[in-house]
Amino acid sequence: MRVGIIGIGMTAFRPSTPESSWKELMFEGAARAYADAGVDPRTDVDSFITCSEDYYEGFGIFDEFVPDQLGAVLRPTCTVTGDGLQGLANAFMQIQTGLMDVAVVEAHSKASDILTLDGVIEHALDPIWNKPLGMHPFVIAGLEADAYLRATRTSTKALAAVVSKNRRNGLRNPLAAYGANVDEDQVTRSEERFAPLRTLDVSRPADGCIVLVVASERAARKFHADPVWIRGIGWASDSPSLETRDWVEATYARMAAEMAYRLAKIRRAATAIDFAEIDDRFSYKELQHLEAIGLARKGDAGKCIRKGEYGPEGRLPVNVSGGSIGCGNVFEATGLHRAAEVALQLRGDAGSRQLDGVKVGVAQAWRFVPSATGAVAVLGVGQ
Amino acid sequence: MTKVGVVGAGMTLFRRRLQETPKELCYEAAKMALDSAGLTLADVDMVVSGSAPDAFDGVHMKGEYFLDGCGGYRKPYTRVFTGGGTGVFSTIAGWWHVASGLADVVLVVNEEKMSSCQPHPQSVFAHIWDPILDRPLKPNLIWIFAMEMNRYMTVHKVRKEDIALVAVKNKRNAVDHPCAQLADPNITVDDVLNSEVLAWPVQRLDISPPSDGAAAVVLASEDFIRKRRIRDRAWISGVGWAIDSTMWTDRDLYFPEYVARAAKMAYKMAKIDDPRRQIDFAEPYDPFDYKELHHLEGLLLAKKGEAPILTREGVTQRDGKLPVCPSGGLLGVGNPIAATLGMKIGELFWQLTGQAGGRQIPHEVRTGVSQAWGDLMQYGCVVVMKA
């Protein structure tokens, strides 16, 4: 059975949204998605999935606070404590069982409500082995960036090229929070934070909400939708402990991509995929992830970015949306944002950043520091 | 839709404080479930975990933290979370992993370690309220459940003695459960009625204890079960779940409409049109004694207000016509929130495959229903299983 995205709703991404509560952000994203799909949540939607983590939300049980603003009261609703793409995978499976025809996936960030964001992330470290070291959790990203750069002989100039490209791409995305004309020198001159990472290598938090309406082929026909098909989806986890995971290759991304490509019947990703939205919450992650999911050969991503191959006019446009560096880090909503962006491009609704003639795109996300979990979705239009 | 069966189950000891870390608890339960199914981790395609508030274990993204204990290392792994409903909900999520055709074998592991929350896990429940409307009143869980219990007693003119019978039954049933924390073969109604009043009408022995523990089940597709000639299996024939409004103050608390919606969804899928006649035994969620009665009515196994009468008449005893919580439930075995999977889905599996030992229902049972309840008195999830 084919499953497709028939509705997309997004709020703008902004460093803070003092005028809206998290409920209002969710309402806006949902209202936009339902209008886009032409569905009434109270009668047409069979299942609702929210992707969130308690500590990011500041609640003991955040699942309590989702039904009203989504139109999900007295309906099947649940929380997937994971990235939005994992939520999308669960919606995909629910529809594949035949029990559901239409499912809604929601993810958001209200990071500006968090007074101690670094402390929250630090709380995810192993309480016995790692947390007592007292390090800032982004030290893990710094160590991993160092391991990746050394093993692949990639220059830090490649990281600066990622930042410059994504900040500039953000200027053409009206929803992006951090679009700016940043050149590579500005990146390499910015303050060193988690060596080899500098201030501008690290994406900054943003608030925002994304809602997707997902439907079976039969239901999509009923709503006269022209769906963006979920051709394949995959998710995987490497070791949660820092001591035993792979620090060079993003194994979770490789395994998730293998699963997604298998479902999508893609043999050679590098030729089958027209463009990609890749998790770049630290600049090196874009390159590491591109290699892990088979869109660049090992150690080549750094060279390709410096040749401009990943720019909007390049061979493989990457993060035309601006990515997390250009749009902002929206935490668990990251993957859903990327899927929404790929879907907009495939529908031809990406405005001034629209790519020409794209048919197949990939969205990839990671669950951020200190996790080694990620997901990949292959989306496509037409037969 | 691929047919899905439960082929193994395991659970750890439930205790107020256990020495094991969350990872270790997950490992113990997962290993036990795989061993009971005669499978190894290599047979498992995907892993689903369930756990309630991160703040109990004291780890942000705790699903990531204990994923290796659950067997999720280098596998597709997801954690789901629906408050107290997680005890049954993770099996529903596991069900769709297999029923969709994406996986043949899924390991479902639920864990909760409440003792790391100092001085008492109740302090986590201070953070489950609406920050503007509820929190300034400094509510705690016991007093909102006291309001719900009071409303139920008032509407149906239920006597406290009849509700106390549930606690007595379940704590006695738990005597035969090897993991039980608060089993008591000699408990009487008077003991419950004379226990400390916490928030009237809730008394100490009306409540299940906070606990540490983990439980796991293995789900497999019909094809896999046939190919591997697995004999001990119970089929998942219906699943349902529903959430009610966050605004609990706007609802009449005497009847759990969200449980009824979830039950109707599960019964429709299981082709059950007369639950009273077609269901042989039940494992409703019983963190408080009145909740068992409340949920039996929500599950449409008793008419509104009838559950206390059935209890008084002995219908819900292990050897009664409709055994309810033959495991000993949360009241007897303990309440490590998500790990109650062991008494809900685990007990259905053990009863339906004749492996419940001293807890085995003396007459033949073919169909069982389990249910969990969560969030702010708003979440119901239901699983129907058949032999």
**DSSP string for A325-355:** HHH-B-GGGHHHHHHHHHHHHHHT--GGGPP
DSSP H helix total and E strand total for chain A: 16, 11
Half-sphere exposure of residue A113: CA atoms within 13 angstroms, side-chain side: 19
Domain assignment of residue B73, yes or no:
yes
Q: Measuring CA to CA, which residue among A251, A242, A160 is closest to residue A200?
A: A160
- CATH number of the domain residue B62 falls in: 3.40.47.10
State how far residue B300 is from chain A, nearest Cα, in angstroms: 17
pLDDT higher than threshold 80 for residue A301 = yes
State how far residue A237 is from chain B, nearest Cα, in angstroms: 5
B76 contacts A63? CB cut-off 8 A: no
pLDDT higher than threshold 90 for residue B244 = yes
pLDDT reported for residue A225: 87
What CATH number does domain A3-116+206-228 carry, 3.40.50.300, 3.40.50.10860, 3.40.50.80, 3.40.47.10?
A: 3.40.47.10
In the 8-state DSSP scheme, what is residue A35?
A: H
**Cα-Cα-Cα-Cα dihedral sign, residues B353, B357, B359, B365:** positive
pTM over 0.95: yes
Give the C-alpha separation, B5 to A290, whole Å. 39
Residue A51: which residues within 8 A CB-CB, separation 6 or more?
Answer: A79, A80, A81, A82, A83, A84, A86, A87, A105, A106, A107, A332, A333, A336
> Which SS3 state, helix, strand or coil, does residue B278 take?
helix
Domain assignment of residue B336, yes or no:
yes
Give the C-alpha separation, B265 to B252, whole Å. 22
Task: Tell me the pLDDT tens digit for each residue of B191-230.
Answer: 999 999 999 999 999 999 999 999 999 999 999 999 999 9
At residue B140 the predicted structure's pLDDT band, cuts being 50, 70 and 90, is confident
Cα–Cα distance list, A125 to A139, A248, B65, B214 (Å):
12, 20, 8, 21
> Which SS3 state, helix, strand or coil, does residue B302 take?
coil
Task: Tell me the pLDDT tens digit for each residue of A73-86.
Answer: 999 999 999 999 99
pLDDT reported for residue A382: 86
In the 8-state DSSP scheme, what is residue B335?
A: B
The fraction of chain A above a pLDDT of 90, given in percent, is 99
pLDDT reported for residue A290: 98
In chain A, positions 1-60, which contact chain B (CB-CB < 8 Å)?
A: 53-55, 58-60
B53 contacts A60? CB cut-off 8 A: yes
pLDDT reported for residue A383: 73
Which residues of A are less than 8 Å from B96 in CB distance?
90, 93-94, 96-97, 99
The count of structural domains within chain B is 1
Name the helix (H) or strand (E) containing A54. Answer: helix A54-57
Task: Tell me the pLDDT tens digit for each residue of A234-280.
Answer: 999 999 999 999 999 999 999 999 999 999 999 999 999 999 999 99
In the 8-state DSSP scheme, what is residue A276?
A: E
Q: Which among B19, B26, B57, B78 is the top mutation candidate for probing chain A, defined by the most A β-carbons within 10 Å of its own β-carbon?
A: B78
At residue B345 the predicted structure's pLDDT band, cuts being 50, 70 and 90, is very high
Domain assignment of residue B186, yes or no:
no
Measured between CB atoms, does A90 come within 8 Å of chain B? yes
pLDDT reported for residue B335: 97
Beta strands B46-50 and B77-81 are parallel
Q: A210-223 burial string, b = 16+ CB within 10 Å, else e?
A: bbbbbbbbebbeeb
Query: What CATH code is assigned to A126-203+229-380?
Result: 3.40.47.10
Please work out, in degrees rounded to the nearest 5, the angle formed at the alpha carbon of residue B48 by the alpha carbons of B44 and B52: 150
Task: Tell me the pLDDT tens digit for each residue of B65-113.
Answer: 999 999 999 999 999 999 999 999 999 999 999 999 999 999 999 999 9
Write the DSSP string, B163-208.
HHHHHHHHHHHGGG-TT-SS--TT--HHHHHTSPEEETTEEGGGBP
Burial of B48 (0-12, 13-18, 19+ CB in 10 A): buried
Task: Tell me the pLDDT tens digit for each residue of A121-165.
Answer: 999 999 999 999 999 999 999 999 999 999 999 999 999 999 999
At residue B118 the predicted structure's pLDDT band, cuts being 50, 70 and 90, is confident
pLDDT reported for residue B122: 87
A367 contacts B64? CB cut-off 8 A: yes
**Cα-Cα-Cα-Cα dihedral sign, residues B272, B278, B283, B288:** positive
Is it true that A3-116+206-228 and A126-203+229-380 share their CATH fold? yes
B247 contacts A61? CB cut-off 8 A: no
Q: Give the residue numbers spanning the domain of B340.
A: 4-118+209-386
B64 contacts A234? CB cut-off 8 A: no
State how far residue A160 is from chain B, nearest Cα, in angstroms: 30
Domain boundary assignment for chain A: 3-116+206-228, 126-203+229-380
The fraction of chain A above a pLDDT of 70, given in percent, is 100
Q: Are A355 and A104 in contact (CB under 8 A)?
A: no
Which residues of A are less than 8 Å from B63 in CB distance?
81-82
In chain A, positions 135-154, which contact chain B (CB-CB < 8 Å)?
A: none
A239 → closest Cβ in B21, B68, B78: B68
Task: Tell me the pLDDT tens digit for each residue of A369-382.
Answer: 999 999 999 999 98
Tokens of B377: 């008195």
- What is the mean pLDDT of the segment spanning A99-113? 97
Q: Work out the mean pLDDT of chain A and round it to a whole number.
A: 97
Nearest residue in A to B99, CA atom: A97
B74 contacts A251? CB cut-off 8 A: yes
Domain assignment of residue B269, yes or no:
yes
B269 contacts A64? CB cut-off 8 A: no
pLDDT higher than threshold 90 for residue B156 = yes
B258 → closest Cβ in A55, A74, A240: A74
A58 contacts B64? CB cut-off 8 A: no
Domain assignment of residue B166, yes or no:
no
Judged by phi (left if over 0) then psi (alpha if -120 to 50, else beta), residue A71 lies in left
Domain assignment of residue B355, yes or no:
yes
State how far residue A269 is from chain B, nearest Cα, in angstroms: 20
